[in-house]
């Protein structure tokens, strides 16, 4: 440990009070020093939204190396959903550290992997027989979902929706909507990936039935069901800007998939694991996905991801066709079991609904005052506002990325981490930990309100 960090890291994380506190300019001197070191050894392709270097974190607060405390409304993009350093999660991971760190499940297996698969089977929609394969990242879960769907159907094509985000591997780069920065210059890309129109009620004004008819027409005409292995959808799009599809849209897509032998895959990597006041966003729409992809929040901060799905589909891959060296790492799996326990013990699904109410009440008040807030949307602790140019909220809805950047910068300078999103960069998204109290959220939203006043 360097001298710079020694002083700051001496305080245990239990001393992290759940309050905002700014004691230096942002970024502070120690962060600036670390940032200079980082720029010498880490390429700019790995960027950071906010170059403050974190020393410790607990609940909904992260503390930087200069002693500034930030209210974290991003949770590492919906990863620390149960809270930073949740006591049960850290205890489970620590316990597993003492037992063993690695054997490789495909050589000599262990119970933690099996237990995570049981919990995912129990807590995902549908009471059919299910299987789960565990991997390391969301993109890897997407890759495996597509592999499995292709093997099961014997078909080649993959369909995704406009404004989707699925990852940074070669296949998933081809599945994202946005070229820059995710795909620019990184080709050639995987073929047979088709981008179908989605449901974006604020912009398209279509009912669920109308939007579904448009999507299905594309799938039938541009691809043809006989060649389509799977349709991959985020029930609520994450990076795209938290679009909640119109009523009935996703159900119509699932019905069409079922009728045509197409595997319906829900990418719940951002929307899942208690993020929306239900275990999975699919539940809000009454969906029963054939395959459900999880990652981000499932292990409380440790890297873990899964593909959970119908036994007959999951069983299609040959023995040895699925897996990987670190997939279902025992420490990450132990943490995931503790995340499920925390959700049950602390009734975290109810916390998601509380947070939705708080965020939507405050953001709707702001919308009444500032006409650049075109829409307040989302479910549970997954809420966003879309910002438009003055006077266009009910007409052309011109994206206002400048206001989003200014507001995120104002928030950061005042101790609140707010993430941006949206194909046009004009969405502020709120995905706090479920441990964020109403008091803390009010404080964060007061800072945001000051930001609006200052625009």
Ligand X SMILES: *Cc1c(COP(=O)(O)O)cnc(C)c1O
**Which residues in this chain contact ligand X in the complex, by CB under 6 A?**
137-139, 142, 165-167, 234, 238, 267, 269-270, 295-296
Within its chain, how far is the Cα of 179 from the centroid?
Answer: 19
Give the separation between CA 337 and CA 168, rounded to whole angstroms.
27
Closer CB to ligand X, residue 67 or residue 425? Answer: 425
Are 164 and 180 within 8 A, CB to CB? no
Closer CB to ligand X, residue 70 or residue 165? Answer: 165
Are 23 and 66 within 8 A, CB to CB? yes
Closer CB to ligand X, residue 168 or residue 354? Answer: 168
Are 200 and 163 within 8 A, CB to CB? yes
CB of 387 to ligand X, least distance (A): 21
What H or E segment, with its residue span, contains residue 385?
Answer: strand 382-387
Closer CB to ligand X, residue 67 or residue 324? Answer: 324
- The CA-atom distances, in angstroms, between 138 and each of 270, 329, 448, 449 are 9, 15, 31, 34
CB of 31 to ligand X, least distance (A): 24
Angle (CA) 410-415-417 rounded to 5° is 75
Closer CB to ligand X, residue 28 or residue 240? Answer: 240
CB of 294 to ligand X, least distance (A): 10
Closer CB to ligand X, residue 31 or residue 294? Answer: 294
CB of 281 to ligand X, least distance (A): 10
**308 DSSP 8-state letter:** E
- Residues whose CB is less than 8 angstroms from the CB of residue 442 and which lie 6 or more positions away in sequence, other chains included: 358, 362
Residue with tokens 């503390």: 63
Closer CB to ligand X, residue 28 or residue 303? Answer: 303
Closer CB to ligand X, residue 123 or residue 166? Answer: 166
CB of 224 to ligand X, least distance (A): 26
| Phi-psi domain of 277 (left: phi exceeds 0; alpha: psi -120 through 50; beta: other) | left
Nearest position to ligand X, beta carbon: 138
What H or E segment, with its residue span, contains residue 259?
Answer: helix 249-259
Which residues are registered as beta bridge partners of 430?
383
Helices (H), 221-276: 249-259
Are 308 and 322 within 8 A, CB to CB? no
CB of 161 to ligand X, least distance (A): 11
| Phi-psi domain of 346 (left: phi exceeds 0; alpha: psi -120 through 50; beta: other) | alpha
CB of 296 to ligand X, least distance (A): 6
CB of 169 to ligand X, least distance (A): 7
């Amino acid at each position: 440990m360097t001298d710079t960090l020694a002083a700051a890291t001496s305080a245990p994380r239990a001393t992290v009070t759940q309050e905002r506190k700014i004691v230096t300019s942002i970024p502070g001197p120690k962060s600036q020093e670390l940032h200079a070191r980082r720029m010498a050894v880490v390429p700019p392709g790995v960027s950071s939204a906010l170059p403050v270097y974190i020393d410790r974190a607990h609940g909904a607060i992260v503390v930087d190396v200069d002693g500034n405390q930030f209210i974290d409304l991003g949770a590492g993009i919906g990863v620390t959903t149960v809270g930073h350093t949740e006591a049960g999660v850290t205890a489970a991971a620590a316990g597993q550290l003492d037992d063993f760190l690695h054997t490789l499940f495909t050589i000599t297996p262990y119970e933690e992997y099996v237990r995570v698969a049981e919990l995912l089977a129990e807590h995902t929609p549908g009471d059919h027989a299910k299987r789960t394969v565990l991997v390391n990242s969301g993109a890897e879960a997407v890759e495996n979902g597509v592999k499995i769907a292709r093997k099961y159907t014997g078909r080649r094509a993959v369909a995704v929706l406009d404004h989707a985000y699925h990852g940074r591997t070669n296949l998933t780069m081809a599945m994202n909507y946005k070229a820059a920065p995710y795909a620019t210059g990184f080709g050639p890309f995987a073929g047979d990936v088709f981008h179908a129109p989605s449901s974006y009620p604020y912009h398209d004004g279509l009912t669920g039935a109308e939007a579904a008819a448009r999507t299905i027409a594309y799938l039938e005409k541009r691809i043809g069901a006989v060649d389509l292995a799977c349709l991959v959808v985020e029930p609520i799009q994450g990076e795209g800007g938290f679009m909640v599809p119109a009523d009935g849209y996703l159900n119509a897509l699932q019905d069409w998939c079922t009728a045509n032998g197409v595997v319906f895959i829900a990418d719940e990597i951002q929307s899942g694991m208690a993020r929306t006041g239900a275990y999975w966003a699919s539940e809000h729409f009454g969906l029963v996905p054939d395959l459900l992809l999880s990652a981000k929040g499932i292990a409380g901060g440790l890297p873990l991801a899964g593909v959970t799905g119908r036994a007959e589909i999951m069983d299609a891959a040959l023995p040895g066709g699925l897996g990987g060296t670190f997939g279902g790492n025992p420490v990450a799996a132990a943490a995931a079991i503790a995340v499920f326990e925390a959700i049950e013990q602390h009734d975290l699904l109810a916390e998601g609904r509380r947070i939705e109410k708080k965020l939507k009440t405050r953001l709707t008040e702001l919308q009444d005052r500032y006409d650049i807030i075109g829409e307040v949307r989302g479910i549970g602790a997954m809420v966003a506002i879309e910002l438009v140019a003055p006077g266009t909220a009910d007409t052309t809805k011109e994206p206002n990325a400048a206001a989003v950047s200014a507001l995120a910068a104002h928030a950061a300078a005042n101790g609140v981490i707010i993430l941006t999103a949206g194909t046009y960069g004009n969405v502020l998204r709120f995905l706090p930990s479920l441990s964020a109290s109403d008091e803390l959220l009010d404080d964060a939203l007061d800072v945001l309100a000051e930001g609006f006043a200052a625009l």
